[in-house]
Structure 1
Amino acid sequence: MMDAVNQLPLWKALQNDAAEMHADRNHLNRLLDDEGRLSWTTLEAAAIRFDFSRQRLTRPILERLVALARERNILERFRAMASGEKVNTTEKRAALHLACRNFSGGSVVVDGEDVMPRIAAVREKIRQFSEAVRSGKIGGANGKPFRDIVVIGIGGSYLGTEFVAKALDAYAMPGYRLHFLSNVDPNHFGSISRMIDPEATLWIVVSKSYTTAETLANESLARHFMKERGLEPAKHIVTVTAQGSPGDDPANPVLASFHMFDFIGGRYSVSSAVGGVPLSIVLGYDVFERFLKGAEAMDRHALHTDEAGNIPLTAALLAIWNTNFLGYPAQGIIPYAAPLAKLAAHIQQLDMESNGKMVTLDGAFTGFDTGPILFGEPGTNAQHSFFQLAHQGRAFPIDFIGVLKPQYDVEPVLTKGVTNHEELWANLLSQVMALAVGSRQGNDPFRYFPGNRPSSLLVLPDLSPESVGKLLSFYEARTVFQAFIWGTNPFDQFGVELGKTMASAIRKAMVRKKENPQYAFEDVNPYDRFYLKDLFGG
């Protein structure tokens, strides 16, 4: 049994440090006067720079945070996770998303079995299938090559894939269109169905258990849509699911079925067949593999770099400092790169589903807050959306992300003497500093900006597949490191299941109403009955 982290002497020392940070001498505009600050607040690895000079902390505080990570044996636990230990203790499973991008040739053993041959076999099947689709060898029921790819899945079954697809759209094969059908709302299906060519559409159904209600409902709509047009669904559907699930049943044939494993959670699954199948079709398998190898590079850094130089671990410690000691309830993710528009949505699920916990691995209530509320929007759009709050309203830490080289070589037209890319960076750098130091313009209270608002800056050299993979791995590792320090499980999500259970009871009441029009929802609670009567006309 592990001691509660908030009972450790280091935790209590950090609480005292946090109280000291409110003193005027520790305002960021004072701390940044130290020109040597960058030397200990900047880390570089795998061609990524992490600058946290504008976080509200001093060097002794950072050293205490690093000491906390060492006392919690964080790196040892992370390595145990990567080696196949069942760190998901509530579900008695390993957590092996890193194995999906492991090209080292080494073994990863779970329950006495090396799982790497199975993972490699799935990757090879993805390569062969995607190349056959791209070449036209595999097409629709009427022989048309596939051009519209619709991913049916919700949550971790699509969010990571959508992020990567958007980030690497510059690499997409011309003529392909990738759609994500996640919401059970019929409006979502209706809007997608208007955009696609039914004869040239491949539907990829993603569900580990193949029991997710929303996904099954959308698959049923897709099958009906195809049959209405004289198309055989078996010639247009691919499944990504657990071996032996209803989606992997020979009695219900499909074009192909790709296995996902119970040791890879949905929100960590974009490196698996969940992302591999659609991304390899639209981007090409070679691009998908480059993305995997970029993630592997950051994985190696996270696994083998000591606590003081470890970028995702440092980011995790800063998140804990901001959440548990400085008391910030939220955190922004602002990439100054339009292709990263879906990053915040993916990390929102990754972190909030993993770290939105109130119970430790021992089953005890934590007694402190865990995951912050995450949100974000690309810059410069965010500046014209919620940065008024960021500068003068409730403060929240921000992850800024900058990219040195854009994906597209746009003509270098000058406006006010600079290119668009230079203008983007001018805005990025100014926002980072303005939040930190603030400004007072005379005695005008309306133009007073208090500053002292923390942020970090993550700098990528480009938006190549490798860089996007590194960015994904950075956030995955940061998420896990936070949980390991808190002593919580970042791999289960029982809070998601509660709403599903309650929906099942309401669904059964709806069915009873259809079977018996006289049924008046007598056994349904009055709050739900109020709306069910509206829905069914009294």
Structure 2
Amino acid sequence: MTDPDAPCDATPAWAALAAHRAGPARDFDLREAFVRDPGRHAALSFEAPEVFADLSKNWLDGPTLALLLALADERGVEARRAALFAGEPVNGSEGRAVLHTALRAPRGAATPHNAEVHAVLDPMLGYAERVRADPGITDVVNLGIGGSDLGPRMVVQALDAWTHGGPRLHFVSNVDSHDLAPLLRRLDPRHTLFVIASKTFTTQETLANAEAAKAWFLHHGGEDLARHFVATTTNVTAAAAFGIDTTFGFWDWVGGRYSLWSAIGLPIALAIGATAFRELLAGAHAMDEHAAQAPAARNLPLLLGLLDVWYRNFHERGSRSIAPYHQGLARLPAYLQQLEMESNGKRVDRHGRPLGIATSPVVWGEPGTNGQHAYFQMLHQGSEVVPVEFILVRRTSHRDGDHPPALAAHWQRQHAMLLANGLAQAQALMLGKSAEAALGDKVPTAAAGIDPAELARHRTFPGNRPSTTLLLDALTPRSLGALIALYEHRVFTSGAVWGINSFDQWGVELGKALANQLLPRLQPGPRHAEVDGLDASTAGLLRRLAR
């Protein structure tokens, strides 16, 4: 077996894939592939807990898949995954274990730190239930940023149908006062709870917002600060100095972008309740077991991660578009940006050696059908081919009895429209439209004088553009937990193939350090507008801003 610590592009499996891409796979055409193989959809469809995946509209076939699986074997992905689950320090640059999987393991499971996890989970969920039952708390504001915001915000929006009976949830992350100020105007301090989400209780943006919220609370006659402020942090001393008595902690083996399963998930529990939160954990745990136990050829997160490598490195595709056809998943693309780009946006391997290959693609998207009226023009007819990921949900999330029957019928018709659009976009990307077919199109009267052949070229779609479709039966706490965990393990897979550390994020540190140096120069004081030691551009901009 090849040394899994060798550079990934210097291995036999990598060379075999490169030769395959330059040879048999060079002119792969999806339309021809479906004609040749009527069983293609069945062969390239895969089931995991709560998620059905159709990979058949990808530049993928049996030989390609076999070579990708050989690459995973050669790169020791299975051994790396086992090390992660066992709690070994797979985050080498920080000397830490990475155990978000332990956060969703059931009580009594043979997983690391199981008793500690439930010793925090149980009181946190008990607290959430007491707040939900308290008529004096109508609004909860989560103050956090990065993983302390993106995950909880995305989940609460996605599970809106489970929020009945609880307080209204609001999320503020940006240090820009225009994020917090408009919200505070709509709130009553007597009925508002603030959750300060900061692992170390030192996150600059979060603490700035927390101090502003505290000032607003006291200015407007707020009383009993300890009742209206709670913290999810490991720094109990700093939280107490702020005036907070109630804190829920977590551990250094919980990375920010993997933290929604921990105490950082308190706003989720406040929104959907303890039972639904446990279902969210259960769905993620079911996907963990699939990732750990399913054979490689049927292991969905492994296959998706390998497909990402195939596109990024052998087809030079620099971005991937996420198109969730469910408004509840509107924040999923933003969540996945952090999960993938912060995890795998690395230029050195886990030993610090410069990489000779590309890593994380740009991840972006909007919910359908909105995206169709924005950027799908480029996806269908642009010069750059972008793999697209469609996420469809078979049933609506509206609760029975929430609406009169006539309105419920409207919701069902609209959901059918949504699903039809999702299916059609994936079909159109694959099939395209020839110039000959475009010649038969009915054109606007105003274009009647234009040469038909010229007009047809404008209305031609090249097709053969790849996409993946992920299908959920319904958007529930359990299925959402499984979907998120699927993406986590997928990102781990591609990172393991590339040989990088997917769990540190040193790239966010330099800008923070420089901002701390510039801040005194933008505030009143002895260093106001000082430009000593700055480059000419930064100095010129600072002078204008500090006027």
Into which bin does the TM-score normalised by the smaller protein fall? over 0.9
CA drift of 1:235 comes to 2.7
Shift, 1:435, TM fit: 0.5
2-structure distance, mates of 1:415, 1:199: 40
Q: Give the equivalent residue in structure 2 for 1:28.
A: 30
Question: In the alignment, which of 495, 511, 514 is matched to residue 525 of structure 2?
Answer: 514
- Specify the SS of the correspondent of 1:401: strand
For 1:130, the equivalent position in structure 2 comes to: 128
**Residue 305 of structure 1 corresponds to which residue in structure 2?**
294
CA contact (8 A) 1:50 1:459 kept: yes
Amino acid at match of 1:53: S
Q: Distance in 2 between matches of 1:21 and 1:147?
A: 62
1:193 matched to which residue of 2? 184
Relative distance call for 1:148 and 1:342 in structure 2 (3 A) is same
Deviations 1:291-347 (A, max 9, x none): 110111111101111111100110000011010101111001111111111111101
3-state SS of the aligned residue for 2:389? strand
In structure 2, distance between residues paired with 1:154 and 1:345: 13
Q: Residue in 2 aligned with 1:469?
A: 481
1:209–1:245: 8 Å Cα contact kept in structure 2?
no
**Whole-angstrom CA distance in 1 between matches of 2:390 and 2:396:** 16
1:531 Cα deviation (Å)?
2.5
Q: Secondary structure at the match of 2:334?
A: helix
SS for the counterpart of 1:242 is: coil
Which residue of the partner structure matches residue 116 of structure 1?
114
Shift of 1:23: 4.7
| Partner Cα separation in structure 1 for residue 301 and residue 237 of structure 2 | 35
SS at 1:439 equivalent: coil
SS at match of 1:449: coil
How far did residue 116 of structure 1 move?
1.5
Q: What letter corresponds to residue 533 of structure 1 in structure 2? A: R
Change beyond 3 A, Cα 1:412–1:361: farther
8 Å Cα contact 2:91-2:504 kept in structure 1: yes
Determine which of 375, 398, 403 is the counterpart of 2:364: 375
Equivalent positions of 1:451-470 (< 5 A) are 451-470=463-482
Q: 1:14 pairs with 17, 23, 31, which one?
A: 17
CA distance in 2, matches of 1:256, 1:415: 46
| Separation in 1, partners of 2:318, 2:255 | 26
**2:422 equivalent among 422, 428, 440:** 428
Give secondary structure in 2 for the equivalent of 1:507: helix
Match of 1:438 in 2: 432
Give how far 1:206 is off: 0.7
Query: Residues of 2 paired with 1:175 and 1:128: CA distance?
Result: 14
Unpaired runs of 5+ in structure 1?
Answer: 110-114, 137-143
Tell me the CA shift for residue 289 of structure 1: 0.7
Looking at structure 1, the residues matched to 148 and 285 of structure 2 have their Cα atoms a distance apart, in angstroms, of 21
Question: 2:444 maps to which residue?
Answer: none
Mapped to 1, the partners of 2:154 and 2:287 lie a distance apart of 18
Contact conserved, 2:132 with 2:166, CA < 8 A, in 1?
no
Q: Offset of 1:208 from its aligned partner?
A: 0.9
1:388 partner SS: helix
SS in 2 for 1:515: coil
Counterpart residue number, 1:240: 232
- Assess if the C-alpha contact under 8 Å between 2:72 and 2:497 holds in 1: yes
Match of 1:226, SS? helix
Contact 2:48 2:290 in 1 (8 A): yes
Between the aligned partners of 1:352 and 1:445, the Cα distance in structure 2 is: 37
Partner Cα distance (2:256, 2:117) in 1: 16
Contact 1:413 1:420 in 2 (8 A): no
**Contact 1:87/1:94 (<8 A) preserved:** yes
The answer to whether the 8 A contact 2:250-2:262 is kept is yes
2:448 corresponds to which residue?
A: none
**What's 1:317 paired with?**
306
Q: Deviation of residue 246 (structure 1)?
A: 2.2
Secondary structure at the counterpart of residue 185 of structure 2: helix
Q: Is residue 153–residue 206 contact of structure 1 (8 Å, CA) maintained in 2?
A: yes
Cα offset, 1:79, TM superposition: 2.0
- Deviation sequence 1:343-363 (CA, Å, 0-9, x none): 111011110000000110111
Match of 1:290 in 2: 279
Q: Does 1:66 align with 2:69?
A: yes
Q: Check if 1:525 corresponds to 2:535.
A: yes
Q: Is the 1:70–1:307 Cα contact (8 Å) retained in structure 2?
A: no
Compare 309-318 and 226-235 and name the one that shifted more: 226-235
The 3-state SS of whatever aligns with 2:92 is: coil
Sort the Cα spacing of 1:186 and 1:243 in 2 relative to 1 into closer, same or farther, 3 A. closer
Question: What is the alpha-carbon distance in structure 1 between the residues aligned to residue 487 and residue 236 of structure 2?
Answer: 32
What amino acid is the match of 2:182? Answer: S
Change (3 A) 1:501 1:436: same
Structure 1 contact 348–375 (Cα < 8 Å) conserved: yes
1:47/1:221 Cα in 2 relative to 1: closer, same or farther (>3 Å)? closer
**Of 374-383 and 100-109, the range deviating more from structure 2:** 100-109
**1:327-406 matches, cutoff 5 A:** 327-393=316-382, 394-406=384-396
Match of 2:491 among 479, 482, 492: 479
Aligned to 1:112: none
Question: 1:21, 1:56 within 8 Å by CA — same for their partners in 2?
Answer: no
Question: Do 1:243 and 1:260's aligned partners in 2 also have CA atoms closer than 8 Å?
Answer: no
Which residue number corresponds to residue 103 of structure 2? 100
The CA deviation at 1:414 is 11
Separation in structure 2 between the aligned mates of residue 215 and residue 400 of structure 1, nearest angstrom = 34
1:10 deviates by: 1.1
Deviations for 1:418-442, whole angstroms, at most 9, x for unmatched residues? 9222222211111111101211123
CA distance in 2, matches of 1:134, 1:175: 5
**Is residue 195 of structure 2 the alignment partner of residue 204 of structure 1?**
yes
Contact 1:148 1:200 in 2 (8 A): yes
Q: State the shift of 1:22 in Å.
A: 6.4
Match of residue 447 from structure 2: none
Q: Which amino acid aligns with 2:233?
A: T
- Asked whether the equivalents of residues 88 and 95 of structure 1 are also in contact (C-alpha less than 8 Å), the reply is yes
What runs of 5+ residues in structure 2 fail to find an aligned partner? Answer: 440-452
Residue 265 of structure 1: aligned partner: 255
Cα offset for 1:104?
A: 5.6
Q: Which moved more, 1:469-478 or 1:97-106?
A: 97-106
Question: Is the Cα–Cα contact under 8 Å of residues 521 and 530 in structure 2 kept in the other structure?
Answer: no
CA distance in 2, matches of 1:229, 1:104: 44
> What is the total number of aligned residue pairs between the two structures?
518
